[in-house]
Amino acid sequence: MKSSDLFALAVRIVGLVSLLYMIGSAVMLFGASIPFFLVVKEVIWLLVSIYLLRGAPHVVRFAYPERSE
């Protein structure tokens, strides 16, 4: 396994942990009168978590650029 593959795996794990934490946070807010900015925060958090779960190809390419030899 190359180091870029391990980094991509670590990014996916961070995405999973972030998604699980976000779900727990959203459940705690459910049922209360929620301010709009908290809804926006949760939606942005969800989108970032999904991006990380999909492997964040731009981040991995930035960290490990292709070498032309």
Residue 68 within any structural domain of the chain: no
What is the residue-wise DSSP string for 16-35? HHHHHHHHHHHHHHTTS---
Residue 40 within any structural domain of the chain: yes
Enter the pTM of the model: 0.79
**Which tens digits make up the pLDDT trace of 8-62?**
999 999 999 999 998 888 787 777 777 888 888 888 999 999 999 998 889 999 9
Residue 48 within any structural domain of the chain: yes
> Which residues, in sequence order, are CB contacts of 64 under 8 Å at separation 6+?
3, 4, 7
Query: What are the angstrom distances between the C-alpha of 66 and each of 14, 33, 35, 61, 62?
Result: 23, 49, 44, 7, 9
- What residues make up the domain containing 56? 3-63
Q: How many domains, in total, are found in the chain? A: 1
Cβ(42)–Cβ(29) below 8 Å: yes
Q: What is the pLDDT of residue 68?
A: 61
Residue 29 within any structural domain of the chain: yes
Residue 13 within any structural domain of the chain: yes
